[in-house]
Structure 1
């Protein structure tokens, strides 16, 4: 038996939004602080790459931690643990302690990052349940806007030759503040009020693979653009240095606009149609970057890729809530793991391919991945329709 879950209050909806905001601020501030930390600790490029990889791997562990906590307690507790870990990691990184402590801080932050990645999506699914309009698009838009804000702040700090530790320590305090407020305002329920029988057993693999494939594709494209767009425009196109960041800027703007529009379109078309539409826009974007080595083509191409990266993530997590109301927490945590696999492939594989055939043609990799998950987008429609016919708890 599954009991109805009452719609979340406005206070809870705002509290979930605050978690998305602090997550976007923290991740952007952490990665943009790496150059300053590289100079402080005299780190090699190889060690910086290892730290970035460790961030992804520990985040995957954090996502699984969120799954365990959400099943045993609830996703609110998983958020609180994630925020506490992020605060500890940021404080350790920003403390100015020896290199060993800095590395430990990055690892702790990574676990917290993954826990929040998963648990914030769980909370987002709960927040929009019972409402006429979805909320995940706006939540991820808040995350993106916060990340853009953090890059501006960090750029200002570095430009003024200020110490980045102040910004990191301040953000640690913000994490604690959000945790304290969230302990009373975040949504306390499980994914659904289900019997132990409904939550028992192994989660079926089919919905995990379908949804995970779409998340993998979105983050492969996102990571490829984030890691290599500026390098491509600066090196391959030979544009002035001040022009190089424009490609990534165009991408971020479209990611933000896409996420702001997802909730509007979700009332008019199915999740499968939204996913297919995003893929249909992203594929020619990759093709433009790969085959037309000019600045206008790069700007348009990266902007089009922003649609698929921006829309596909909230659409997929929304579908997770439709597929299984009773086990959406577990489903979200499993699907979120594909985030990190895509991030690693997009950053590492694109760079390796670019070394042999050029960075432009290397964007054929995300193109191939986007085309490859079209069957998953088609299956998404069948998956969510079957769930609607069978009941909110029968999707998996």
Structure 2
């Protein structure tokens, strides 16, 4: 429950920020190109934060890294909300981005460690908690549309700080924390294929959550109170898919699930790109969320299985933590494609911006084969035992 709470708070903070992006645009008179530059800064700093979390986890444990990350996010978000001038706003985004990367990596380290204890796929449920936090954030954004940015975001900073007291999984639970980096003699080629799939997911996810509200405003001239509707149905559909993901993987297998999802995602993005009205675009975002939501958790789960295969429990967690921190970097490559490339290509109109992920998501079809790993594929039926003579 503590690890799930960390995912939920991370989703709460991130979506609270992105759903207010049009308001920050208006407040500071930011162009789509300038916003793309800010998102590039956040993504790069998040990548640096993910790398720092690896160092912190090997010395102090992923629980400590996670708590430090939430402190950084709370401070950064408070600065963003109450910034008296544009420079403070940009500085707050920088601090938030660094904390974002630390929390992303450390929370997945914690989730993978818990999953290994369960001995079955449960990462989709943890990522479902992230989505649930995002849904709460979207509903709150709609409810406080007329409330000032500082009053709307400052209570969320307090929520992040409350999580510091959560009983996270300590490093000593599986093995003593070492002071040296573990040997990473892992099959990186296989992990790179899994990472490519995660890049594609975060390309789509970041485009939807970051540019979705802006799409409704700039393309369909939707009123301000409707702008979070680009994110809310997307997150609700994502939550439903992730909560059903554990069972769906057991019944259908990860490969089939991912390939069907890629085709549906392409069709959903086509609906968004060619949408004649805002409500058709919202329908497209809804189907999009339901089609791609399990890619990220299954990627982390499969990467952990590949990284920790053949190791005893005492050696596995340290190496898996280090691999997950590096694997998490694929998150930000996808963020670059989704946030920056979508904004740059769509600087004149976001319709062609969303056409980029519409085409690229089909690369999941050949990459899905890399998910045939223990714990992510459909289980085989047990053999019938013969009666002893």
Bin the TM-score by the shorter chain.
0.7 to 0.9
Task: Please name the residue that 2:193 is paired with.
Answer: 210
- Distance in 1, matches of 2:227 and 2:19, equals 17
- Distance in 1, matches of 2:181 and 2:154, equals 43
Matched position secondary structure for 2:118: coil
- Distance in 1, matches of 2:271 and 2:350, equals 13
User: Superposition pairs for residues 183-198 of structure 1, below 5 Å?
Assistant: 185-189=167-171, 193=175
TM-score of the pair, normalised by structure 2 = 0.80
328-337 vs 230-239, greater mean Cα deviation: 230-239
User: Superposition pairs for residues 133-212 of structure 1, below 5 Å?
Assistant: 133-159=120-146, 162-179=147-164, 181-182=165-166, 185-189=167-171, 193=175, 199-201=182-184, 204-212=187-195
1:213 Cα offset (Å): 0.7
Task: Please name the residue that 2:366 is paired with.
Answer: 375
Matched, 1:103 2:83: no
1:91 Cα offset (Å): 3.4
User: Superposition pairs for residues 40-119 of structure 1, below 5 Å?
Assistant: 42-45=28-31, 47-96=34-83, 98-119=85-106
1:105 Cα offset (Å): 2.2
Which residue of 229, 252, 264 corresponds with 2:235?
252
User: Superposition pairs for residues 291-306 of structure 1, below 5 Å?
Assistant: 293=276, 298-306=281-289
Higher relative contact order (CA 8 A, sep 6+): 2
Matched position secondary structure for 1:116: helix
- Distance in 2, matches of 1:228 and 1:94, equals 19
Which residue of 12, 15, 18 corresponds with 2:5?
18
Matched, 1:366 2:357: yes
1:23 Cα offset (Å): 0.8
- Distance in 2, matches of 1:314 and 1:226, equals 18
> CA 1:195–1:203 in 2, change beyond 3 Å: closer, same or farther?
farther
Q: Which sections of structure 2, spanning at least 5 residues, go unmatched?
A: 309-315, 380-389
- Distance in 1, matches of 2:81 and 2:284, equals 37
User: Superposition pairs for residues 267-306 of structure 1, below 5 Å?
Assistant: 267-290=250-273, 293=276, 298-306=281-289
Q: Which sections of structure 1, spanning at least 5 residues, go unmatched?
A: 1-13, 389-396
Q: Number of residue pairs matched?
A: 367
- Distance in 2, matches of 1:80 and 1:293, equals 45
TM-score of the pair, normalised by structure 1 = 0.79
- Distance in 2, matches of 1:97 and 1:288, equals 40
Task: Please name the residue that 1:131 is paired with.
Answer: 118
